[in-house]
A and B are shown apart, each in its own frame.
Chain A
Amino acid sequence: MKPAPAGSFCSPLWRDRALAAAAVSELRRLAPAAAARAGGQINLMEVCGTHTMAVAASGMRGLFPKELRMLSGPGCPVCVTSQGDIDTVLALALVPGVIITTFGDMLKVKGSGGLDLNSARERGADVRVVYSPLDAVALAAAEPSRQVIFIGVGFETTAPVIGAAVRQARKAGLKNFSSTAFFKLVPPALEMLLSDPENKIHGFMLPGHVSAIIGTAPYRFIAEKYRVACVVTGFEPLDILAGINILLKQVISGAPRVEDEYFRVVSAEGNLAAQKIMKEVFSLSTPSWRAIGPVKNTGLKFSKDYASFDAVKRFKLKYSEAPEPKGCSCGKILLGKALPPDCPLFGKACTPANAVGPCMVSSEGACAAWYKYGA
C-alpha cells in the first residue's frame, strides 16, 4: 500500500500516523478526567477558521471521546465581516470605472440584496483576485487613470500586509489607490466571549498565524482574569492533537496559562515590524461583528494620518447593517453556542452552492467545513 520509496512523496512528521495514534490515546485518557473537572462536558474552542478546516479535513472529530466538544470560534475573516460591510464592498464594486482587488474567498459572499462580487462582474464590475495587496498597489501604478480599491478584511494576519501596501502607495504618491479597513482583533474578540455570563468554553486553541504577528503576551488575561486554558497551536494534524492535550492537562491541573505549541513559528513578542506598521497605519475602532453587532475597541480602522486611503471615505459609501437572514444560526455558531448541525437550515436550505449564512459561504467557515468533510 505504500508508495514507491524512490518517489518524491514524503510522509511529513506532522501527520505521522504512529505519533498521531499516541496523541489520540493520550487525548482519550485525558478527556474524561478534564470533563469530570469541568462538570461532565469539556468544551474547547478552535478560534481560527484555518483550525476549523484542519480539524475537519483530518477527520479527527470521529476519534474524539464524547465528553470532548470542539467548538468553532469567531476567527474566520469572511464569517465575522458584517452584512453592512459586505454591502459597502458591493457598492464600491459598482462605482463606475473602479477596479476592485480582493483575496479570492470574498468573491462569493452575498450582500443583503443577494449580489456577490462574482456576480457583480456580470453587471460590469471589474473585480480582480490578487494574492497580495502589494499586487494591487502595482496595479494602481500601472493604471493611473483608474481608481484601484483593495478589499481589506480580516484579523491581525492581513492588517499588517495591507498597512504595508498603503504605506507603499503613499510613498509612491499614488492618488488612485485605496482600501477598506474592516479589521477585527482576536484578543478583544475572545474577551467578548469570555465576558458573556453564559460562556461555557474551558480552553482556547489560539490561532497560529495571528499569534505569529501579535505574540503570546496579549492572551495572558484569558488565563489570569478568566482562568481559561490557552495554547497557541499550529495547523498540522499533530499540532492540533498536541494542542488539545495541552488544554486538557491545563484543565485537569486547574492551572491555566498561555502555552505555545507552535513555538517553531510563534514567539512571545511576535513580529515587531508588523506590529509597528499596524500601529502607524491603523487605530482602534468599533467594528460591527456579523450577527453580534458593534463592540468597542475590537477592530482597526485607518489612523488619522492615513485616512485619505480609506475607500469608504473616498467614495462616501457606508451601508448600515441589514438584518441577518431568517433562521440562520451563524451568530450562535461564531460565539461557540451552537454547532453547525444544530442549525435548522444546515445542509437543507443552506449549502455551499446556496449559502444562507457566512459560515457556509467562506471556505473556512464552520458550516462549510462540516458540510464538506462530513465532520
Chain B
Amino acid sequence: MTALKKIVLGHGSGGRLSRELVERVFLKSFSNPSLRLLEDAAEVKIPGATLAFTTDSYVVTPVEFPGADIGRVAVCGTVNDLAVKGARPLALSAGFILEEGFPGDLLLRITASMRRAADEAGVLIVTGDTKVVEKGKADGIFINTSGLGLIPRGRRLTSAEVKPGDAIIVSGNLADHGVAVMNARDRLGLRGGVRSDAAPLNGLIEKILRLPGIRAMRDLTRGGLATVLNEVSGACRLTAEVEEDSVAVSPAARSACSLLGLDPMYVANEGKIAVFAAPGQAAKILKAMRSHPYGRNACIAGRMLKEKKPLVRMITSIGGSRIMLMLEGEQLPRIC
C-alpha cells in the first residue's frame, strides 16, 4: 500500500475513506490485536478485570444547536462507546482546545452541559487539559474526551460474534442529530422542531444486558446505520438485511433529508444504537428497550443472513431491494 497523498474532508466522514485512513496510516503504525478489532472501545485486560478504554474528539459548528451542544455530545459519545462494549463507565477525561477570543459564558454553558450529561450517565470527569491557540488556529472549541469502563465478568460483546438469523434492533428514530446540526449550521430555516438525540445510553444498555442473547451493540454515530451495518457485516462475514419500513425516521427529519438529497441511513445520530441479538430473545429485548425513555421507538429493523457474498441490503417500502454501500466521501446536498 502506498502512503496517502493528502488528507481530504472525506477522510473524516466515517465512511469508506475514513476506513482507508485508519488502515493505511493508524493500523500501519500502531497495529496490535486490540486495535485491529476497530471497535468503539478497546478491551484492556488487567489481573482480575477487563477494562474498556476509548477516546473521541468533538468538532461541531455551531457549538450549540437544538437538543444538545458540543459538550453534551462529547460526554454522551464517549459514554456510549464504552456502554456498547458492555462496559460500565468509571471515569472520563476532558481535553479542551480553545481559540483565543472564545466567549467565557459560552464555555461555562458547555461545561455545565457536560456536567449534566455526566451526572445523568453516573460518571465523573476526573481529569482534563486545556490549550489555548491563537485566533484563526482553531474553530472556537475542540473537545476530546476519553473514557474508562469496567466490563463485568462474563460479558463479551463483539461484532465477530454475530450469528446468522440474529435480529438487528435499532433503538429509535434515525437522523435527528445530523439534521438538527445541519439546520442550525446552514440556517436552513427548516421547521418541524428536529432536535439532536444526544443522550447517554448506558442506562438503556445496562437494562437490556440483564437479558440473554445480545451478541453485539454499536452506536450509530458518524456514517449512520448504513456504515455500522457495513462494518458489522465485514466483521462477521454475514449479510445484514434491513427493512426500510421498520427503520424509524420522524416525518420532519425525513422531509429535511429528502429536500437536501441526503439518505437518513447515513446521517449521524448521537443517542441511538443497533443491537444484534439471538432471534429467540429479540422480542424480549425489544420490549425492555421500549420501556426505557431512550428506547421508546425501538424496532426490529432486520436480520443477519448467511450468504455467499455478504453485503448490506435494504428491502424498500415498496418491496424492492437495494444494496447499501459504505459512504463515499461526504454526503453533499444536491442542486435540485
Contacts and interface: CB of A to CB of B under 8 A. Distances in A.
Interface of A: 1-4, 6-12, 15-17, 20-21, 24, 50, 53, 56-63, 77-78, 103-108, 118-119, 122, 129, 131, 153-155, 157-158, 209, 237-238, 241, 351-353, 363-364, 371-375
A11 B245 contact: yes
Contact of B298 (A1, A4, A77): A4
B317 A364 contact: no
Contacts of B250: 8-9
B317 A15 contact: yes
B108 interface: no
A4 B296 contact: yes
Nearest to B295: A4
Interface stretch (B30-38, B45-53, B60-68, B324-332): B324-332
12 contacts: A3-B248, A10-B251, A15-B316, A21-B318, A57-B316, A59-B315, A59-B316, A129-B333, A154-B336, A352-B328, A353-B17, A363-B261
B319 interface: yes
Interface string B237-277: 00000011110111100000000010100000000000000
Given A1-B246, A1-B300, A7-B297, A61 B335 contact: no
Contact of A154 (B263, B315, B333, B335): B335
A62 B296 contact: no
B249 A24 contact: no
A77 B335 contact: yes
Nearest to B176: A8
A129 B298 CA distance: 35
A103 B334 contact: yes
A87 B300 CA distance: 49
A163 B186 CA distance: 22
B320 A62 contact: yes
A105 B17 CA distance: 18
Contact of B318 (A58, A371, A372): A58
Among A8, A53, A352, A364, chain B packs the most CB atoms within 10 A around the CB of A8
Nearest to B8: A118
A107 B332 contact: yes
Nearest 6 CB-CB pairings of A with B: A59-B320, A20-B318, A15-B317, A104-B332, A9-B248, A7-B297
Contacts of B244: 15
Given A17-B317, A129-B333, A7 B296 contact: yes
Given A60-B318, A374-B322, A105 B246 contact: no
A8 B176 CA distance: 12
A58 B296 CA distance: 28
B319 A17 contact: yes
A9 B297 contact: yes
Nearest to A102: B335
B163 interface: no
A63 B298 CA distance: 30
A110 to B, nearest CB: 13
Given A58-B320, A59-B322, A131 B186 contact: yes
A59 B8 contact: no
B16 A8 contact: no
A107 B331 CA distance: 11
Among A1, A9, A57, A107, chain B packs the most CB atoms within 10 A around the CB of A9
